């Protein structure tokens, strides 16, 4: 018997998965091979029709959670002998988009359907540089990005540990701390279990007019012995270490797993690559990263004692200081156990909070409530490694004598962790 040509063999849909995001619903069809398809949008009644050539539906769609989506039911039928027709009956109109993702190291071929809400959901991020009615004093806005999500679990560890779950828990704990602090407002880039493209994460932070972007992750490596937390900023000229380069490549590949159209153009970097604001942003990113790294070192072993650099796509914002935090190696059994612990997640969130607020106490954005508070009472500053009294006096444009007088210092000796009040000028 002669075998059928490869192109004539039927492709199977082995699984259908669904996620709800704030502004759209994503349906993913897991395929045994590449397919040709056509997407049709129909009205009266509203429905989406997907015709897929030479394909069989082997998955059960009856158990999909459709309650919070615009889809009322999914029907299927056979056309022209071996072609599949899927019909998505809708409760409300949507703006559909579809694209194919080729098989990669972690996922097979997939057909992705994104159904964007016709009416924007109220959960859409809002511009959050709100102001105090009395004196036009705004909050400091911190955009917190929990990595991965949805069909992209991120790194996997022992005991079914998933990076996406761990980092979302830490992100929410950090959000709670920042929102409770006077003069701060936190905004989550990802609020639930759904995927957000890397470019979209940056654009959401810009829509929020964030003063700082913090992307939270949990590391993984082929050796389970690798351990420790670390902080990264964007590099334009290559990675600061071989491991930083490896990590950036892995994180940048998230769109291939999470599902982002390969036709999307990353024009942001092309527009701003030579903009001087990018250099300024990197300087502030390094300073914020150093503050956060120091606090993380108080609760965990550091994989690197310095802020590392690599070409992380999610950090390519020219006008927002941006850092990527690796909270530990989820591939390490001991650290995986800690990362899954609610108590440790709270400790990590506290360390991130202290690093962030310490950074803003030293580099306070003008026009904020925190800047206004500092005018009359002075600035609280926590001594870091390498600080000297003369360095601090130059940085804040105050005299050494004024620093000594305000803090009852008899000499120039200061210690790491000591708090100084910087007199208002």
pLDDT per residue as tens digits for the range 288-335: 999 999 999 999 999 989 999 888 888 888 789 999 999 999 999 999
Task: Count CB atoms within 10 A of the CB of residue 137.
Answer: 17
> Of all residues in the chain, what percent carry a pLDDT higher than 70?
81
Q: What CATH code would you report for 10-117?
A: 2.60.40.3500
Q: Which class for 319: exposed (0-12), middle (13-18), buried (19 or more C-beta within 10 A)?
A: middle
Give me the residue spans of the domains in the chain.
10-117, 140-362, 378-422
Closest alpha carbon to 232 in 118, 308, 161 = 308
- Cα–Cα dist 419/146, whole Å: 31
Query: HEC profile for the chain?
Result: CCCCCHHHCCEEEEEEEEEECCCEEEEEEEECCCCCEEEEEECCCCEEEEEECCEEECCCCCCCCCCCCCEEEEEEEEECCCEEEEEEEECCCEEEEEEEECCCCCCCCEEEEEEEECCCCCCCCCCCCCECCCCCCECEEEEEEECCECCECCCEEHHHEEHHHHHHHHHHHHHHHHHHCCCEEEEECCCCCCCCCHHHHHHHHHHCCCCEEEEEEEECCCCCCCCCEEEEEECCCCCCCHHHHHHHHHHHCHHHHHCCCCCCCCHHHHHHCCCHHHHHHHHHHHHHHHHHHHHHCCCCCECCCCCEEECCHHHCCCCCCEEEEEEEECCCHHHHHHHCCHHHHHHHHHHHHHHHHHHHHHCCCCCEHHHHHHHHHCEEEECCCCCCHHHHHHHHCCCHHHHHHHHCCCCCCCCCCCEEEECCC
Model confidence pLDDT, tens digit, residues 108-134: 999 999 999 986 544 554 555 665 544
CATH architecture of 140-362: 3-Layer(aba) Sandwich (3.40)
Q: Estimate to the nearest angstrom the gap between the alpha carbon of 96 and the chain centroid.
A: 25
Residue found under tokens 């999500």 = 149
What is the tens place of the pLDDT at every residue in 140-181? Answer: 999 999 999 998 899 999 988 999 999 999 999 999 999 999
User: Does residue 269 carry a pLDDT above 50?
Assistant: no
pLDDT 10s digits, 345-377: 999 999 999 999 999 998 888 888 888 776 656
Taking the model in full, what pTM does it have? 0.75
Distance CA 352, CA 249 (A): 24
**Cβ neighbours, 10 Å, residue 129:** 16
In this prediction, residue 204 carries a pLDDT of 95
Mean pLDDT of 28-54: 95
CA 293 distance to own-chain centroid: 18
Q: Which class is domain 378-422?
A: alpha beta
What pLDDT sits at residue 140?
Answer: 97
Of residues 50, 34, 30, the one with CA closest to residue 42: 50
**What are the pLDDT digits (tens) for 202-236?**
999 999 999 999 999 998 888 899 999 999 998 86
């Amino acid at each position: 018997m002669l075998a059928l040509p490869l192109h004539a063999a039927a492709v199977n849909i082995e699984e259908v998965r669904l996620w709800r995001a704030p502004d759209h619903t994503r349906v993913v069809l897991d395929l045994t091979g590449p397919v040709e398809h056509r997407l049709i949008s129909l009205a009266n009644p509203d429905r989406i029709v997907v015709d897929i050539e030479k394909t069989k539906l082997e998955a059960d769609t009856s158990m999909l959670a459709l309650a919070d989506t615009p889809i009322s039911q999914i029907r299927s039928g056979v056309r022209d002998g071996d072609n599949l027709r899927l019909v998505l009956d809708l409760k409300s109109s949507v703006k559909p988009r579809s694209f194919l993702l080729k098989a990669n190291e972690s996922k097979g071929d997939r057909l992705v359907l994104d159904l964007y809400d016709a009416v924007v959901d109220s959960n859409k991020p809002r511009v959050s540089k709100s102001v105090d009615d009395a004196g036009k004093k705004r909050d400091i806005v911190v955009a917190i990005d929990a990595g991965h999500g949805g069909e992209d679990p991120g790194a996997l560890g022992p005991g079914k540990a998933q990076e996406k779950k761990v980092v979302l828990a830490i992100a929410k704990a950090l959000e709670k701390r920042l929102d409770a602090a006077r003069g701060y407002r936190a905004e989550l880039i990802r609020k639930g279990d759904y995927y957000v493209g890397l470019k979209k994460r940056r654009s959401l932070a810009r829509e929020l007019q964030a003063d700082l972007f913090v992307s939270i992750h949990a590391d993984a490596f082929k050796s389970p012995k690798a351990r420790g937390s670390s902080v990264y900023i964007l590099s334009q000229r290559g990675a600061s270490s071989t491991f930083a380069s490896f990590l950036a490549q892995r994180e940048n590949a998230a769109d291939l797993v999470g599902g982002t159209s390969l036709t999307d153009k990353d024009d942001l970097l092309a527009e701003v690559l030579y903009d001087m604001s990018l250099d300024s942003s990197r300087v502030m990113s390094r300073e914020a990263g150093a503050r956060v790294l120091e606090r993380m070192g108080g609760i965990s072993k550091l994989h690197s004692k310095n802020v590392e650099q690599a070409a992380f796509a999610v950090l390519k914002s020219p006008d927002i200081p941006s850092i990527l935090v690796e909270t530990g190696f989820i591939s390490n059994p001991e650290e995986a156990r800690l990362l899954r612990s609610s108590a440790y997640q709270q400790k990590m969130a506290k360390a991130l909070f202290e690093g962030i607020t310490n950074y803003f106490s030293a580099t306070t954005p003008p026009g904020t409530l925190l800047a206004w508070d500092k005018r009359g009472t002075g600035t609280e500053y926590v001594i870091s490694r390498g600080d000297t009294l003369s360095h601090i006096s130059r940085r804040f444009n105050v005299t050494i004598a004024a620093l000594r007088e305000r803090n009852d210092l008899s000499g120039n000796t200061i210690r790491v962790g000591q708090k100084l009040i910087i007199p208002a000028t």
